[in-house]
Amino acid sequence: MGKKEPIVHPNSVNMIASSTAFTGDLKTDTDIKFDGTFDGKLVTKGKLVLGESGQIKGEVYCKTAFISGKIDGRVFVDEIITLHSSSRIDGDITTSKIAIEPGAIFNGICKMTNEQTKTNRIEEKETSGS
């Protein structure tokens, strides 16, 4: 018997509540809204929404990101990252586009990519296994 691939619904969203703490590696094909505490590596082929109470320590790989909480670590975004006024990032960002609202705190280096040099970091991360 062949292994069945799970059906992914395009409007699926994983939601992690503010009372949730998670340590380890998290990989998903869908969007994720995170209000809890996370320590590890987060990989999503979709959008990351980090709420004001959300905190991530580690590495983040995603297609797009809307950050209102705190990240301590490296962030790799294929398309655009938006840092809302309540956000704080202590770490480096690699992205194609960045939007920073007044009041946001960003301590690190931002490396901008363009369409000619952009590689899909999410796919690369999945195939490298690291």
**In the predicted structure, residue 25 carries a pLDDT above the cut 50:** yes
The C-alpha atoms of residue 53 and residue 31 are separated, in whole angstroms, by 18
Give pLDDT, residue 73. Answer: 98
Residue 130's pLDDT band (cuts 50, 70, 90): low
Q: What is the pTM of this model?
A: 0.81
pLDDT at 89: 98
Looking at residue 119, its pLDDT comes to 47
**Contact present, 84 and 99 (Cβ < 8 Å):** no
Confidence bin at 13 (pLDDT 50/70/90) = confident
State yes or no: pLDDT of 8 exceeds 90: no
